[in-house]
Amino acid sequence: MHIKRLHTCCTLLKERPTNLKGKKHSSQLWLTRQLKDPYVEKAKKENYRCRSAFKLLEINERHNILSPGMIVIDCGAAPGSWTQVAVKLTNSNGSQENKPIGSVFSIDRQLFHQVEGAHILGNSDFTSLETHRKLRDLLNGKLVDLVMSDMAPNASGVRDIDHEVIITLAYSALKFALQFSKPGSTFLTKIWDGGKSSQLEEDLCKFYNKVKVVRPDATRDDSHEMYFLAREFKGLKAG
């Protein structure tokens, strides 16, 4: 089995630590990497809660998945940088006059701070039907334009196990998307590549006309993270 230490945490450091002595080796590595990472610096400057914002911005720049007026579900949203991007680009905070106003629903199993213009559901496990029901009630009959999942488990470091868990998370987002999305809508999900990636891709192809792998530059070089971008939902009857 391939063993690799993964850091899913994307917390931005408020201050540069001056002394790494006494810290565990893994924490030292993480801190050193954070300090050298240009996206961490950029996120601080542009007021994003974490560096992941640039992954979504880049995916959007290339594939144009977000626009004013859209209804978006952000799964695994804490600490909230994808939500910040989605609020801005869907105009769910109404900051762009004369443009349609969208809605962003952001869910995470952790509690996290409000983002103005988004409906935040913290402490909510996306694999639970209870969370899907809560969202269904909030949507109140409206269908969704984009379901995006950046959900990731706390990595164990055992690549095969972590792959299995993240695939389960991706399928829970897909299950929701199939039930609550508009025909023509988009689904974006993160996975860590492994043995079940091709099955997921095949399943996506049953329900979406266009499926591709995207790997934003902001994804760290040593990561086997990738995203499936599925477009043009066929509607459930087609599946």
Ligand X SMILES: C[S@@+](CC[C@H](N)C(=O)[O-])C[C@H]1O[C@@H](n2cnc3c(N)ncnc32)[C@H](O)[C@@H]1O
Residues engaged in binding ligand X (CB under 6 A): 8, 10, 49-50, 52-53, 76-82, 107-110, 125-127, 150-153, 169
* Complex with ligand X: residue 8 or 20, whichever CB lies closer: 8
Taking the complex as a whole, the smallest distance from the CB of residue 8 to ligand X amounts, in Å, to: 5
Taking the complex as a whole, the smallest distance from the CB of residue 31 to ligand X amounts, in Å, to: 18
CA–CA gap between residue 68 and residue 55 (Å, rounded) = 19
* Complex with ligand X: residue 45 or 237, whichever CB lies closer: 45
* Complex with ligand X: residue 144 or 169, whichever CB lies closer: 169
Taking the complex as a whole, the smallest distance from the CB of residue 58 to ligand X amounts, in Å, to: 13
Q: Is 190 a catalytic residue?
A: yes
Comparing every residue's Cβ against ligand X, the nearest one is 76
Instruction: Kindly name the residue from 42, 55, 88, 190 that is annotated as catalytic.
Output: 190
* Complex with ligand X: residue 61 or 97, whichever CB lies closer: 61
Taking the complex as a whole, the smallest distance from the CB of residue 183 to ligand X amounts, in Å, to: 26
Active site residues: 190
